[in-house]
């Protein structure tokens, strides 16, 4: 029986409330207030699991987010005192809060100390408010700084994930790569990046659910899937969809972003994003091939005693992803 703590439920609700306050605010004070409420609600969720690694991750996350909030307050103060709009400072504080390169250094380290559920929240919900504030406040969205952050995020995420064997760090670099695509989508249209983050959230839920269900933290733990062909197929499909391989669901928003960038004349930007997607697809394939080909000694000894029937989590993933990956592209 699943028992949910009232405190964790309260903090989850206030976390969502902080995001809603930020994206619906009419002033910078309310936007800052929503970001702080979101931060103070996420810290207890990180430390809910009694572990020194979670406490270290919570402390690091608090310091980074507090530094980003300080930069945001300084930029807002400059906005009121002087007539010059400090867009660079505002943009810097927001990319620091959502973990885009070159201010991405904290994201893989902090995610390594979190549980899978908190990693999912950090990859999806915690990016919504900064992305909305960027899309609403930056008028010159295709400036050199905006393009540079997107390109640098794509390059660093592709190169940083190549030598990773920890799955949580791998998903962190994947999140940085998708942040680069979201920034490119913001430069095209608001509806496009909303479509992208919704699609990314659906796929991330499926991937993280499989990892959490089988308690996989390292790439060697993928051998735990060797006795469950249903989990193998689901993980294979979700990773390919996360990498944007056609005809899976993740291909659609990436194709839309590339089409809009090419139509706007940003050929180099589109090329770099496409090359980074191929690099990330390479380490997704490495994870999928590892789960398909390797068997653990424990699994080989108990292969006849394991129940091969899929549980409700696997069936939910299959029922969700099969229609989305097959019907929507058509």
pLDDT at 214: 81
pLDDT at 316: 54
pLDDT at 227: 58
Residues of the chain with pLDDT under 50: 1-2, 141, 296, 299-309, 322-323, 325-330
Residue 157 tokens, joined: 């995420």
pLDDT at 226: 57
Q: Residues of 221-249 as b/e, b for ≥16 C-beta within 10 angstroms?
A: bbbbbbbbebbbbbbbbbbbbbbbbeebb
Question: Residue 103 — φ and ψ, nearest 5°?
Answer: -105, 40
pLDDT at 83: 65
pLDDT at 299: 44
pLDDT at 86: 78
The rounded distance, in Å, linking the Cα atoms of 82 and 69 is 20
Tens-place pLDDT, residues 300-326:
433 343 444 455 555 555 555 544 544
pLDDT at 318: 52
Tens-place pLDDT, residues 168-190:
999 999 999 999 999 999 888 77
């Amino acid at each position: 029986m699943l028992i949910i703590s009232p405190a964790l439920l309260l903090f989850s609700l206030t976390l969502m409330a902080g995001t809603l306050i930020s994206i619906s605010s009419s002033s910078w004070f309310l936007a800052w207030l929503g970001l702080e409420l979101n931060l103070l609600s996420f810290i207890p969720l990180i430390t809910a699991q009694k572990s020194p690694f979670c406490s270290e991750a919570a402390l690091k996350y608090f310091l980074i987010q507090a530094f980003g909030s300080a930069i945001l307050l300084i930029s807002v103060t400059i906005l009121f005192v002087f007539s010059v709009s400090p867009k660079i400072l505002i943009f810097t504080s927001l990319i620091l809060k959502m973990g885009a390169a070159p201010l991405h250094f904290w994201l893989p380290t902090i995610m390594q100390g979190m549980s899978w559920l908190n990693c999912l929240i950090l990859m999806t919900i915690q990016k919504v408010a900064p992305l909305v504030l960027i899309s609403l406040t930056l008028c010159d969205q295709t400036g050199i700084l905006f393009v540079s952050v997107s390109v640098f995020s794509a390059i660093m995420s592709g190169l940083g994930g190549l030598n990773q064997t920890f799955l949580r760090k791998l998903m962190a670099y994947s999140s940085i790569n998708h942040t680069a695509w979201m920034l490119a989508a913001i430069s095209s249209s608001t509806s496009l990046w909303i479509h992208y983050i919704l699609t990314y959230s659906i796929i991330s839920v499926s991937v993280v659910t499989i990892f959490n269900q089988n308690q996989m933290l390292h790439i060697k733990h993928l051998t735990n899937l060797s006795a469950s062909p249903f989990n193998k197929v689901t993980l294979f499909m979700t990773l390919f969809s996360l990498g944007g391989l056609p005809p899976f669901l993740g291909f659609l928003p990436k194709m839309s972003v590339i089409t809009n960038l090419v139509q706007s004349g940003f050929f180099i930007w589109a090329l770099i994003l496409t090359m980074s997607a191929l690099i990330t697809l390479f380490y997704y394939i490495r994870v999928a091939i590892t789960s398909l080909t390797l068997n653990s000694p424990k699994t080989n000894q108990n292969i006849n005693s394991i129940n091969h029937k899929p549980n409700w989590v696997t069936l939910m993933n299959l029922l969700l992803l099969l229609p989305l990956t097959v019907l929507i592209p058509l």
